Structure 1
Amino acid sequence: MVTSTHETSHRIFQDHPEVLAPIFEALGMPPPAKAEIELMTPDATELKPLERRVDTVLKVEPSDGESFVLAVEAQTRKAADKAVN
């Protein structure tokens, strides 16, 4: 279920992507020094009639490297089936 807290957390990423710097560090990746970041559609629907959406999808185009897509999902509580190994 979508809540205002959930939506607000993604609006922050969408409007201020610079707050993602600690996430890059946690993943062991240097944040891009200069990059264009473009909000993309969160629709991940397949050909089959099954709808899938990602909370926030950003396209990052560093000035000194290859572009990549960053998908951000918010979790409000721990879920055993989504544990990081």
Structure 2
Amino acid sequence: MVTSTHEASHRIFQDRPEILTPVFDLLGVPMSAKASVAVLSADVTEIQPLERRVDTVLRVEPSDGDHFLLAVET
């Protein structure tokens, strides 16, 4: 069941992705200060009639590294 608290916690990541920096540090993932982060569609539905959604999906584009997607799920 989706709650307003659940939605608010993901809106924080979507609106302020820089707060994930300590998480990247803990995981040993280097993050450039000039990285570009974009919120992507969280709809991961496939051709088969099965709906799947991720809470938050971000595209991270470090200025000095490989681009990657980050899926945040509670």
Q: TM-score range by the shorter chain?
A: over 0.9
Which residue in 2 is equivalent to 1:48? Answer: 48
How far does residue 38 in structure 1 lie from its aligned partner after superposition? Answer: 0.6
Stretches of structure 2 that go unaligned for 5 or more consecutive residues are none
Question: How many matched pairs?
Answer: 74
Distance, in Å, in 1 between the alignment partners of 2:42 and 2:34 is 24
Scaled by the length of structure 1, what TM-score is found? 0.82
- Post-superposition CA distance 1:50-85 (Å, at most 9, x none): 0000000000111111111000012xxxxxxxxxxx
Determine which structure has more spread, i.e. the larger CA radius of gyration.
1
1:26 lines up with 2:11 in the alignment = no
How far does residue 30 in structure 1 lie from its aligned partner after superposition? Answer: 2.1
Q: Counterpart of 1:3 in structure 2: which amino acid?
A: T
Scaled by the length of structure 2, what TM-score is found? 0.93
Distance, in Å, in 1 between the alignment partners of 2:66 and 2:37 is 13
What is the identity percentage for the equivalent residue pairs of Structure 1 and Structure 2? 66
Which residue in 1 is equivalent to 2:64? Answer: 64
